[in-house]
């Protein structure tokens, strides 16, 4: 599904990713854990195609296609979704209008029919209930004045509506209370399936109580330094990242 091979990324003159390799087969959920500064956000930006985060070496294969070099919107249309650590506020753009515009842009790019206004309203109402956002929020400018938790719910709303092939969740758990963590777990677990993959980037183990990963990887110094089963997360929580920082 998503196969990263020997990925190198230099940002502002510093090499952050130094030969990262990772394979998330279809149907699996993998977690990446790592200390601050290990390259977690750089990994998500490089895979999603942000300006200034071009890979200098390596490949990112999404369902057999190397997506490096493709525009971010082309990657999105191929089914790649990034849940942002710090979602943007967009004043002057109504939430519903924006999400519908984005959904239809992706569908057009894939040669699929656009979703009508009426169908879209039904869809967004249903998914908003799932993520715990009331209808009034959908009519407001996108994320403007929303709390950190509400912005994360808005990310989960888009995840539920876009139904991407592969989702990267960049520290979605940061700043969330227990109820919101459970909601994130419910949304992801409902979408888990044989045709879909997830990469959960996190600093802490707590989200992994709600989303049980198939594999856990430790990212340190721009490389995956250890991989293991779900139990590795608990082990890290106990022993910390220090051993890996030194190893890296």
Q: Is 211 in the site for other proteins (CB under 8 A)?
A: no
Q: How far apart are CA 155 and CA 63, in angstroms?
A: 24
Residue 54 to residue 67: CA distance in whole angstroms: 11
Q: Pick the piece of the chain touching other proteins (CB under 8 A) from 33-41, 101-109, 116-124, 146-154.
A: 101-109
| Nearest alpha-carbon partner for 161 in 205, 195, 129, 135 | 129
* Tokens linked to 44: 């998500």
Of 49 and 197, nearer to other proteins (C-beta) is: 49
Q: Does 48 bind other proteins (CB under 8 A)?
A: yes
User: In this structure, what DSSP letter does residue 39 have?
Assistant: S
Run of H or E including 21: strand 14-24
Q: Which stretch binds other proteins (CB under 8 A): 24-32, 85-93, 183-191, 222-230?
A: 85-93
- Pick from 84, 120, 146, 198 the residue near other proteins by CB under 8 A: 84
Rounded Cα distance, 157 and 248, in Å: 37
Local structure of 97: helix, strand or coil: helix
For residue 77, state whether it binds other proteins (rule: CB under 8 A).
Answer: yes
Q: Which two tokens stand for residue 139?
A: 């009519």
Minimum gap (Å) between residue 201 Cβ and other proteins: 15
Binding-site member from 69, 109, 190, 193 for other proteins (CB under 8 A) = 109
Contact residues toward other proteins (CB under 8 A) are 48-51, 71-73, 75-77, 81-82, 84, 87-88, 90-93, 98-99, 101-103, 105-106, 109, 141, 158, 162
């Amino acid at each position: 599904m998503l196969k990263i091979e020997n990925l190198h990324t230099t940002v502002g003159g510093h090499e952050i990713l130094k030969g990262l390799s990772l394979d998330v087969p279809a149907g699996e959920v993998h977690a990446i854990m790592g200390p601050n500064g290990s390259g977690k956000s750089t990994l998500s930006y490089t895979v999603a195609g942000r300006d200034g985060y071009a890979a200098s070496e390596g490949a990112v294969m999404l369902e057999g296609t190397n997506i490096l070099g493709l525009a971010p919107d082309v990657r999105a249309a191929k089914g790649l979704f990034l849940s942002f650590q710090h979602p943007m506020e967009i004043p002057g753009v109504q939430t519903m209008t924006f999400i519908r515009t984005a959904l239809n842009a992706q569908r057009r790019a894939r040669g699929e029919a656009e979703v009508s206004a009426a169908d879209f309203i039904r869809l967004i109402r249903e998914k908003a209930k799932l993520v715990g956002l009331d209808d009034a929020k959908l009519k407001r400018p996108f994320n403007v004045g929303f709390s950190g938790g509400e912005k994360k719910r808005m990310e989960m709303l888009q995840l539920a509506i876009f139904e991407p092939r592969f989702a990267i969740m960049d520290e979605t758990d940061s700043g969330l209370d227990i109820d919101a963590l459970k909601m994130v777990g419910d949304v992801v677990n409902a979408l888990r399936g044989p045709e879909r993959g997830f990469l959960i980037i996190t600093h802490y183990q707590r989200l992994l109580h709600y989303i049980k990963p198939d594999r856990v990887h430790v990212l340190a110094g721009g490389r995956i330094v250890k991989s293991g089963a779900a139990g590795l997360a608990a082990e890290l929580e106990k022993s910390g990242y220090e051993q890996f920082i030194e190893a890296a």
